[in-house]
Structures are given as C-alpha cells and as structure tokens.
Amino acid sequence: MNKKEKEIKELVSRLDEIFNPLNKEVCATCKINCCKECSKTMAFLPFNKSDFFLELKERYGFNKRKGFILKDGCRLPREFRSFVCISFMCFKLKGFDHIEAYRISNRLYDLRGY
C-alpha cells in the first residue's frame, strides 16, 4: 500500500468512527433515499463506469426505495461511495464535529480526484 492509499484508508476509517454510531440512531427511521440522485448519474468510483455501479448494486444490494441504506446506515463501504455520500451531513445528525468531518471529506476529495 502506497502513502496515498494509506492516507485514504485512515481518512475513511476516521469518517466511519465519526458517523457510524450516529447513522445507527438516525437512519433507522429515515424516509429519505440518500442514494437516489447518485444512482441516476452513477456517481460512484471509478467515475462514469456503469458496470462498476451495477457491480456495487449486485454485491451490496440496492433497493429503489432506500438505495444502499439500511436501518443502521449505508451498507456500501465508505471507500466506494461517491463524493456526495462522503461529504453529505444529514440535517438529522447531531453531536459531532462538523468542521473535522468536512476537513476529512475535502482531503479525500483531493486525494481521490473525484
């Protein structure tokens, strides 16, 4: 693993630490399909490869009503999520460091070259 890949892995892990506990509280009762727009444009890595998005749908299960969302959050590993997914902070989420989360998201954006 090179230096860039290692940093990406560390940043993804940090976002998981921030959001996973919060997602378990919020996502279970949510009625919004967070995946709807990105699924239309296939905004998942690598860019514009519909076969990759289809592979993600098949591997992780995608439902038209809720996308990749389960009661405890997104089932799609963070490293495969679009930039929107990585940077989106649901308005229902409370009690976390927004600035730190945005800083990490922006660094991932720079490293991954969305």
Say if CB 34 and CB 88 are below 8 A apart: yes
Q: Which domain holds residue 71?
A: 3-112
Q: How many domains does the structure of the chain reveal? A: 1
Tokens 């998201």, residue located: 105
Q: Is 57 left (phi over 0), alpha (psi -120 to 50) or beta?
A: alpha
Give, for all 114 residues of the chain, the pLDDT tens digit.
899 999 999 999 998 898 888 887 777 777 777 777 777 766 655 555 667 888 888 999 988 888 888 877 888 888 888 777 777 777 777 777 888 888 998 898 888 775
Phi, psi of 74 (to 5 degrees): -75, 135
SS3 35: coil
